[in-house]
Structure 1
Amino acid sequence: MTTNTAKKVISLFAAITILTLISVTTANAQTVPAEDPYLGIIPAPASVKKVAGAFIFSAQTPIKADWPADKAVVFLKNYLKDSRHFNNKIAKHNPKVKVSAGLVLTSYGADKLPAEGYKLTITPKKITIVGKGAGLFYGIQTLIQLMPVQLSAREKLPCVTIEDAPRFGYRGMMLDVSRHFFTVPQVKQVIALLAAYKLNTFHWHLVDGQGWRIQIKKYPKLTEVGGYRQQTMYGNNRDWPDSLSYGGFYTQDDIRDVVKFAADRFINVIPEIEMPAHSDAALRAYPELRCQPDDPKNPSRSISGIYCPTEETFTFLENVLTEVMELFPSKYIHVGGDEANKQPWKESAFVQNLMKEKGLKDEKEVQSYFIQRMEKFINGKGRTMIGWDEILEGGLAPNAIVMSWQGEEGGIAAARQHHNVIMTPQTTGNYFDHYQSGSPQEPVSFGRYAVLKETYEYDPVSKQLTPDEQKYVMGTQGNLWTEYVPTMAKLQYQILPRLFALAEVAWTKPENKNYDNFADVRLANHFGRLEAMDYNYRVPTPFAVIDTILFGNKFTYTPQSVVPGAKIYYTLNGRDPLDTDLQYVSPVTIIIPANEKREFKARVITPSGRRSIATRVLMYNRPLIPATVYANGKPGLKYKLVKGRFTSPDQLDYVTLTDSATTDKLNAEVLKKDNPYFGIVYDGYIDIPEDGSYNFSQASYTDTQLFIDGEKLTETEYVLPLAKGLHKIKVKYIYQAPVQTPGSRVRQTPLHIYMIEPGEAAKGEIEAGSLFY
């Protein structure tokens, strides 16, 4: 599966006249602020009752468990030994014998708890964790989070009673290892992170067009041929030399090792074997499974990355899935089913005859036939099929679970049909391969932004569903596609801290969620842990707003960091700050002379040397630009158009614009139907509703130029102080119809200009009613 690359331009700020950010005391990694109701725990528990006192944990603390060999108990013993250097002995616990001191791990009373629930009680003399199976394991994970980051011989734990259970039964994350391969230890590191934050499903995307990663003994060429490729370019991202082969795969013993590692942490591993599309790697190995075009002299117009629905193909896939299901005990088997380019089916005489034979009206129904046939085989093995939401096309397989990725619509439709749904929309912050901000300093990623707050505030249960329909929402999942993730450091950067937000969405009831507490207080402990583990997380910026422009003559700044021990550096000369620049220790006040500019940049640098994106504030002491006196305005804009190929809007200054007309809005889409390439210049006035600072942004700064009162707005200077009334507006735009190649995704840059009024948080396109000529 590949992700939608359509770029969504978002506003970075709402302009205000004075910026005064109040500093917040950084939480110490070993203590939790008194105002935190959740003691730094992520995901936030259902119930926390704090009392006075503390328990002192040490290597001498006696530990008793109902079953010392229980995998949750063994996990705790290994954690204490390997991570805290405590070699505590664990004795058999008899529930009938009262224990007055130490740590007790018991299932006695767990029958009264919800599924996967636990109860953790800490008194000055005793810690008790009540839970069974996964519940006991999650109680242990909460206890671990209450331990300080810094090691010591005697560790102080707060006295508290926590009763907790998850909101959803399905709490997952997907890792794509096809585009870039990750080793068994690296995969285990990801799984360990999921377990630490009470996620219980690892969706392993083992197969795609770029690489086949799982050994299938009956078909050795799948990994011998399909497991390797020559260099691959994604966009402008080339990450290995052209002459080198790239790849790798997991042996069946590797798979068993990972599955056991996950099971020991109460994580179910769901394998994904893509079909019918995204099958290029398999078809490189076994080209006889492709569809052949009706006319051999006229090769297919598309890249044939889709299986032909022949009996040979179904036998192949059934044999593959038989070996897969022998390796994975998971109830669920994922078959993909997304983004199928059906052109090879349209050109195949076999498929066209199959449609007539089976009474299938189009290729979408061929896909439905394909998926339903595979589902019948999977069900016959006692398993349940999961597919991306395209499996709804042509009719949904009877018992299939829908994983809704394109948006929420597929999941809503499936729930209304009473099919179980896993919500993982790319439009709600669940895609961890998306950019984490609009800053050009971010490492290359997919085009959309998925900021931490968006991930955190997503609710998988749509309000469009009735209460009866809502019960079909099994849970939620985050996805990391790895086209732009060639290293473990990049993987960690992409998922952290968004993984923490996902965990809270999946576990915590909405009424117990609070983003400010999560981001400004509780994340502190977890950043401290990531620092100690040397993980490459994305460091939060010193200001929530990365890039802004302000107008005025005096500004005071108090940047902050939630990362324990981090320092903030700033510059006033336009350069991105380094650790050799000025260190922030107290509020910085800047006075700007009339008609002059100043720039304040700040950056967080953590104790391990990790750096945040540098934030920028451009300050400009200039008066409001007066409105134009113009009494005879008519609604709309004038425009002039010229046909021709252009590489820059500047070239429109040197040609004669012949065709002229008026339009009621800034929209060139209607012109594209008859003009494969052209340049256009709009002129007129925009009506500004009130005095203030106005933010303008464009869908593209390479194809579009915007002028307000003769001033060109750019990516770095895009705000103007405007007086109420009419102001001249000029827009230059060039367009070239993209050249389509087989299998390519066509991206066009539309003419979109957005304006944010003072105090507004959301962006909207310039309204037609505000334009005059």
Structure 2
Amino acid sequence: MVRLIAILIVTSSGLVAAGQPSPVDLVPRPVHAELHDGSFEIGPATPILVASSLPEARGVAEYLRDQLKKRTGLSPAIKSVEPLAVSDGAITLMIGLRSEARMEALQCDLLVRRERALIVSSTTESAFHGVQTFLQLLDRKSPQGAAANWHVPSISIRDFPRYPHRGMLLDCGRHFMDKAFVKRYIDLLAFHKMNVLHWHLTEDQGWRIEIRKYPKLTEIGAWRKARDDEKPTRGDLYGGFYTQEDVREIVAYAKSRFVIVIPEIEMPGHCLAALASYPELSCNGTPLAVGREWGVIEDVYCAGNERVFEFLQDVLSEVLELFPSELIHIGGDECPKKRWQQCLKCQFRMRAEGLKDEHELQSYFIRRVEKFLNSRGRRLVGWDEILEGGLAPNATVQSWRGLDGAIAAARSGHDVICSPTSHCYLDYPQEPNPAAPEWMGFIDLKKAYSFVPAPPDLTAEQLRHVLGLEGNIWTERAPQERVDHQVFPRLCALAEVAWSPASTRNWEDFERRMRTHYRRLDELGVTYCVPAPRVVVDGKPLGDPAAIPASAEIMLENPFHAGEIRFTLDGSEPEKDSPAYARSFELDRPLRLRAATWLPGGNHSDSIDIRLTPK
């Protein structure tokens, strides 16, 4: 039994009022925080104390030790003791305790003074969240290169999540991501107190998970003829897949970080890779190739073919053995109906089941899959198209086409996950980009931070069905090396939306805290999006580059708080050793100006490429 000898209680006095700046630069912002004088120093002799009666606590302690070693070179000893008591000079993990009479289910209190550091939590998971807060607060007390100690400021923090579902979708179907990269993203999610990796594993352009009963899914479906902008990985093919052992390893790794992995196996559309492997599952049965082009493809699973449902149940049976998550995502989006309209089997199915149109046929399809998943103790989740034709009885809806789907599902008593294109699509540009499809627009950091997952049209009871949010990184235009740039820093904003109370939201304060957090991302090797330089002509933003007054003054502005602008005038890509922009210049002849913002660590913006012509 853990025995509490002494504890410092977080009180309401001195805490930051709603909407006011936070006293500490944490992301996501905690529920309450109060700074005190001094700091707790961490040195070679600082131990981590846990209760020997709680073996699960040791895993959190080992994680903290490993992260401290990675960050500082220090490797604190872990001491399992009984009874556990507050001890000066130590970091103490007190799990299963309540420092207040009314403590939230996932609350963690971080109580740091000069003498000691305590992480007091109701659960092992909340203790892990407290460790993330502790690691964000960690700072070097001595100059860079000195051998002395690190420290954490004296502080009292009370913290717990707003929503239970705080996630990110990682699309490994369009572009394959290697196993180490997926595990790295699990770490980045955990660092931001996010707890769901929605793993998009099957697509028109690639099937990424080994299914032993159907080996052609990875022998054929995992590989496509490389596009012009892709580097082949096997002969002239691009692709890859995860063995079942890879999946088990990733799921276990996520579990150790308190991240749930929800697999997505797309149906009845977005399945061309499967149909290329087993053409008999399509409506016409003709040979098909794994998709190379992006977009919505008309070939889908045949809803009138009983063999399709046998196949999908076999596939899902193997998936369920690998993934313990209660929710299983089946896609359900963007399913064209043309093949079904032309298919005798599908039309016969509609007549036999009394279905009035192909939307109801899709609902029939989803309901059959849901019945199977429910029989195995799992719950189905699908994109908001599963509302069309009638919603499956126990389904969770992920709303992406705005929040109308979320509102409709919640009103009918169904759980919802919010990830609308307007705020949560991380494949969209972060600043205006003429090269991107016009329909994308752009989502900058401020817009992502402004997201409100709770639709105002819902009652308090209906809002209980809003589980949370996901940021979605679709990878048509984001191979592995581009994902960081697309995801960050917007995932930081969505993490705060999902974690922190709505009453504490303050854009100016978040923007200020992000200046510190960018340094943490740098330490983690995250190549986040750096805003590109802006061109100013005679003191005004650039308009028509082909109609600039002769002898106009051309200036470049850096919209980011760090870095310097590197530029070229010969059409070459600006690199870190290109000329540094220092002063304005006059436009006396046509020029091709290319410029990028470079940070000291090597991260940089996309370059601007503008042909300036004096009139």
TM range (shorter): 0.7 to 0.9
Q: Secondary structure of the equivalent of 1:39?
A: coil
What residue in structure 2 maps to residue 229 of structure 1?
Answer: 224
Measure how far apart 1:353 and its partner are. 1.3
Q: Which of 411, 416, 434 is matched with 2:428 structurally?
A: 434
Give the counterpart letter for 1:73 in structure 2.
A
Measure how far apart 1:303 and its partner are. 4.0
What residue in structure 1 maps to residue 129 of structure 2?
Answer: 138
* 1:600-619 alignment, distance < 5 Å: 603-613=596-606
User: Closer, same or farther in 2 for the Cα pair 1:87/1:180, shift >3 Å?
Assistant: same
What residue in structure 2 maps to residue 272 of structure 1?
Answer: 264
* 1:388-427 alignment, distance < 5 Å: 388-427=383-422
User: Closer, same or farther in 2 for the Cα pair 1:216/1:571, shift >3 Å?
Assistant: closer
Give the counterpart letter for 1:127 in structure 2.
A
What residue in structure 2 maps to residue 147 of structure 1?
Answer: 138
User: Closer, same or farther in 2 for the Cα pair 1:77/1:39, shift >3 Å?
Assistant: same
Q: Secondary structure of the equivalent of 2:482?
A: helix
Q: Using the TM superposition, name which of 447-456 and 206-215 deviates more.
A: 447-456
What residue in structure 1 maps to residue 68 of structure 2?
Answer: 80
User: Closer, same or farther in 2 for the Cα pair 1:574/1:318, shift >3 Å?
Assistant: closer
What residue in structure 2 maps to residue 283 of structure 1?
Answer: 275
Give the counterpart letter for 1:420 in structure 2.
D
Give the counterpart letter for 1:611 in structure 2.
H
Q: Which of 438, 454, 458 is matched with 1:465 structurally?
A: 458
Measure how far apart 1:62 and its partner are. 2.1
Q: Using the TM superposition, name which of 63-72 and 154-163 deviates more.
A: 63-72
* 1:567 is aligned to 2:564: yes
Measure how far apart 1:524 and its partner are. 2.3
Bigger helix fraction = 2
1:227-263 Cα offsets, whole Å, 9 max, x none, are 1121247xxx555599711221111111100000000
Give the counterpart letter for 2:579 in structure 1.
D
Measure how far apart 1:557 and its partner are. 8.7
Measure how far apart 1:610 and its partner are. 2.4
Give the counterpart letter for 1:438 in structure 2.
P
What residue in structure 1 maps to residue 238 of structure 2?
Answer: 246
Q: Using the TM superposition, name which of 134-143 and 93-102 deviates more.
A: 93-102
User: Closer, same or farther in 2 for the Cα pair 1:38/1:273, shift >3 Å?
Assistant: farther
* 1:507 is aligned to 2:507: no
The answer for unaligned runs of 5 or more in structure 2 is 1-19, 287-296
Q: Which of 44, 48, 52 is matched with 1:59 structurally?
A: 44
Q: Secondary structure of the equivalent of 2:299?
A: coil
1:682-741 Cα offsets, whole Å, 9 max, x none, are xxxxxxxxxxxxxxxxxxxxxxxxxxxxxxxxx989xxxxxxxxxxxxxxxxxxxxxxxx
Conserved? CA contact 1:68–1:91, under 8 Å: no
1:723-765 Cα offsets, whole Å, 9 max, x none, are xxxxxxxxxxxxxxxxxxxxxxxxxxxxxxxxxxxxxxxxxxx
* 1:535 is aligned to 2:520: no
Conserved? CA contact 1:68–1:74, under 8 Å: no
Bigger strand fraction = 1
Measure how far apart 1:468 and its partner are. 2.3
Distance 1:306 1:581 in 2: 56
* 1:119 is aligned to 2:109: yes
Conserved? CA contact 1:309–1:370, under 8 Å: no
User: Closer, same or farther in 2 for the Cα pair 1:597/1:583, shift >3 Å?
Assistant: closer
Conserved? CA contact 2:381–2:397, under 8 Å: yes
Distance 1:549 1:501 in 2: 29
What residue in structure 2 maps to residue 635 of structure 1?
Answer: none
Distance 2:240 2:438 in 1: 23
Measure how far apart 1:177 and its partner are. 0.8
Conserved? CA contact 2:425–2:473, under 8 Å: yes
Distance 2:556 2:442 in 1: 27
Conserved? CA contact 1:274–1:337, under 8 Å: yes
User: Closer, same or farther in 2 for the Cα pair 1:291/1:119, shift >3 Å?
Assistant: same
Q: Which of 119, 127, 151 is matched with 1:129 structurally?
A: 119
User: Closer, same or farther in 2 for the Cα pair 1:69/1:412, shift >3 Å?
Assistant: closer
**Normalised TM-score (structure 1):** 0.67
Aligned residues: 566
Distance 1:247 1:582 in 2: 40
Distance 1:215 1:576 in 2: 41
What root-mean-square deviation, in Å, do the aligned CA atoms of Structure 1 and Structure 2 show?
3.4
Larger Rg: 1
Distance 2:274 2:99 in 1: 48
* 1:338 is aligned to 2:333: yes
User: Closer, same or farther in 2 for the Cα pair 1:599/1:250, shift >3 Å?
Assistant: closer
What residue in structure 1 maps to residue 9 of structure 2?
Answer: none
Q: Using the TM superposition, name which of 109-118 and 542-551 deviates more.
A: 542-551
Aligned sequence identity (%): 38
Measure how far apart 1:560 and its partner are. 6.0
Measure how far apart 1:78 and its partner are. 1.5
Give the counterpart letter for 2:477 in structure 1.
Y
User: Closer, same or farther in 2 for the Cα pair 1:154/1:174, shift >3 Å?
Assistant: same
Give the counterpart letter for 2:564 in structure 1.
K
1:53-91 Cα offsets, whole Å, 9 max, x none, are 111111211221124653222211221223321111011
1:170-227 Cα offsets, whole Å, 9 max, x none, are 0000111111111111110111100110000000011111111111111111111211
Give the counterpart letter for 1:562 in structure 2.
H
User: Closer, same or farther in 2 for the Cα pair 1:51/1:423, shift >3 Å?
Assistant: same
Q: Secondary structure of the equivalent of 1:522?
A: helix
Conserved? CA contact 1:230–1:242, under 8 Å: no
Measure how far apart 1:139 and its partner are. 0.4
Q: Secondary structure of the equivalent of 1:199?
A: coil
* 1:85-104 alignment, distance < 5 Å: 85-94=73-82, 97-104=85-92
Q: Using the TM superposition, name which of 110-119 and 540-549 deviates more.
A: 540-549
What residue in structure 2 maps to residue 47 of structure 1?
Answer: 32
User: Closer, same or farther in 2 for the Cα pair 1:257/1:571, shift >3 Å?
Assistant: closer
What residue in structure 2 maps to residue 622 of structure 1?
Answer: none
Distance 2:472 2:458 in 1: 24
